[in-house]
Chains A and B, each alone.
Chain A
């Protein structure tokens, strides 16, 4: 069964706007990760946030984690057409394997 569920399933925005994707999960985790997948390609790791962290930044990416609500959000600021891709959250439970959500498809229009 899926551990993570992303919301929304699809998101369309204009270049320059911010994109926010949310992820909810079911059980306690060790860390949460976000990945990007361009059409027809493999997944690329974007950022990892540990369970004892609340916020993390990497370039135009900002990830938050709320373990009390079992949720995370990925914010991409000043979106570009090249950010068009599917984004997946994945949870790493202690002593377990990475479990992926169903993904958010982001379309950024020039």
Chain B
């Protein structure tokens, strides 16, 4: 997981509150992704970014927004947290220059009560 830091690692929040998760990379990768991992669903793409201020939706984007003001940072915001957003969230990066694997962070475990 060297080069990608996710914060916080664990968070418990109440339903209806906004929550922001941070992904910080030192890889200078152009592409960044947010996935959520749930039992029985594997990893599902929430949002991704292909450059500073360039973002797009993934397959499960409802209730989430993202921002990328610097190459290094990709923020995921839950506008109003719901219990269905209890999950483990992973950030990943890719330099996009040729087909190669993604680099993943260690994840953020979010519990919405």
List chain A positions with a Cβ less than 8 A from chain B.
Answer: 1-2, 4, 30-31, 33, 35, 40-46, 48, 50, 88, 92, 97-103
Q: List 29 A-B contacts (CB under 8 A).
A: A1-B59, A4-B42, A35-B104, A41-B107, A42-B4, A42-B90, A42-B106, A42-B107, A43-B43, A43-B90, A43-B102, A43-B104, A45-B101, A45-B102, A45-B103, A48-B99, A48-B100, A48-B101, A92-B99, A97-B48, A97-B58, A98-B45, A98-B102, A100-B35, A100-B42, A100-B43, A101-B42, A102-B42, A103-B42
Most A CB within 10 A of own CB, among B90, B102, B105 = B102
Minimal Cβ-Cβ distance residue in A for B101? A45
Nearest-neighbour CB distance to chain A for B102, whole angstroms, equals: 6
Most B CB within 10 A of own CB, among A30, A31, A43, A101 = A43
B104 contact set on A, CB distance < 8 A: 35, 42-44
A45 contact set on B, CB distance < 8 A: 100-103
| 9 shortest interchain CB distances as A-B pairs | A45-B101, A42-B104, A100-B43, A102-B42, A43-B104, A100-B42, A42-B106, A31-B99, A42-B1
Report the bound CA distance from A45 to B48 in whole Å. 19
Interface of chain B residues 7 through 57 with chain A (CB within 8 A) = 33, 35, 40-45, 48
B107 contact set on A, CB distance < 8 A: 40-42
**Number of residues on chain B facing chain A (CB within 8 A):** 24
The number of residue pairs between A and B whose CB atoms lie closer than 8 Å in the complex comes to 56
Report the bound CA distance from A16 to B40 in whole Å. 29
B41 contact set on A, CB distance < 8 A: 2, 102
Report the bound CA distance from A48 to B94 in whole Å. 14
List chain B positions with a Cβ less than 8 A from chain A.
Answer: 1, 4, 33, 35, 40-45, 48, 58-59, 90, 92, 99-107
Report the bound CA distance from A53 to B21 in whole Å. 38
Nearest-neighbour CB distance to chain A for B55, whole angstroms, equals: 12
A42 contact set on B, CB distance < 8 A: 1, 4, 90, 104-107
B101 contact set on A, CB distance < 8 A: 33, 35, 45-46, 48
